[in-house]
Chains A and B, each alone.
Chain A
Amino acid sequence: VELVFRPTVGFIDLLRRFVTEFCRELSLDPDDGSRVALATYELVENAARHSTDGRAAMAIDVAERREGAVLTIRIANRASQRHRESLQARLDELKNLTDAESYYVAMMHRTAKLESGLGLARVCSEAEMEVSGQIVGEEVELYATTRVTRSEVGV
């Protein structure tokens, strides 16, 4: 699935529901579908809030590998220098992540008095996905990857 869009709040929730259905069509385990939908929501909302031109691009890819199916969400958008710097710092922290829930709880302590900052940690912990990214010029590209289980029926 690939989409280029101007995300709005209503659209982001619609996308979450669409991804849930998409995962069901792929015969993914229901918990896997919930994880992927949650991650999609958080990443797209993040793009919507920080995109400097109001646009974002999203792709979801499922690859069959020797170790099983691997699903990757890719989100790309343009962002301000301030946001890019903040995001790079967060991505550096995520490179060495060993315990996602402990990091998530630590982020709760850091952001308790702020309005935001939990999104990527939530993707790592609640959605159980590995988050990485690259920043080239004004372009920010985030990837969230996870192994998924497909049921026998419908594969």
Chain B
Amino acid sequence: VSIEALSVAQLTTTVGVEGGDLVVALSGNADLDARTKLAEWLRSVHEEVLRLRIQRVVVDLRRLEFMNSLCLNAFVGWLATILELSIDRQYRVHFLWNRDLFWQRKSLSALCRFALRVVTTDP
């Protein structure tokens, strides 16, 4: 996989492959300073997933303390791009989240409604 891990401001990411899934993990704090780089990084994830024909991306948010609405909007943009693909090229995005972080429960509930066809969550 030719995606570089991202480290910007208080946000760091890791990238790996487990089974047939691409697994990306975010940790730290996704704030105003991270927005542009995060959006670019998500575009690179998207291009790599299409290139490798991966069926599912697992996004691990369990160690992400906070994400502001600008960074959340970067995820919305990514999901919108997936939804614009023809059905046979769409891939799923599965979020792992932290029950102790209130915002994750609420943000993921909205993301699920936004992109019902492609988003799943655990738990």
Contact = CB atoms under 8 A, between A and B. Distances in A.
Interface of A: 9, 12-13, 16, 30-31, 34-35, 38, 41-42, 45, 48-49, 101, 104-105, 108-109, 111-119, 122, 125-126
B32 A16 contact: no
Nearest to A16: B66
B110 A117 contact: no
A105 B110 contact: yes
B55 interface: no
A126 B80 contact: no
Contacts of A115: 35, 39, 70, 73
Given A16-B66, A118-B69, A122-B72, A35 B102 contact: yes
A111 B33 contact: no
Contact of B113 (A35, A101, A113): A101
Contacts of A49: 32
Q: Which size class do B's interface residues fall under?
A: 20 to 34
Given A9-B9, A112-B80, A117-B73, A126 B32 contact: no
Task: Give the residue among A9, A117, A125 with the most B Cβ atoms within 10 A.
Answer: A9
Nearest to B33: A9
Task: Give the residue among B29, B69, B107 with the most A Cβ atoms within 10 A.
Answer: B69
Contact residues of B: prevailing secondary structure: helix
B9 A108 contact: no
B52 to A, nearest CB: 24
Given A118-B69, A125-B106, A12 B76 contact: no
Please provide the 3 A-B residue pairs with the shortest distance between their CB atoms, ordered closest to farther. Answer: A34-B102, A112-B80, A126-B106
Given A105-B110, A105-B114, A112-B77, A122 B31 contact: no
A38 B9 CA distance: 19
B80 A9 contact: no
Contacts of B101: 34
A112 to B, nearest CB: 4
B68 interface: yes
A35 B102 CA distance: 8
Contacts of B111: 108
B77 A113 contact: yes
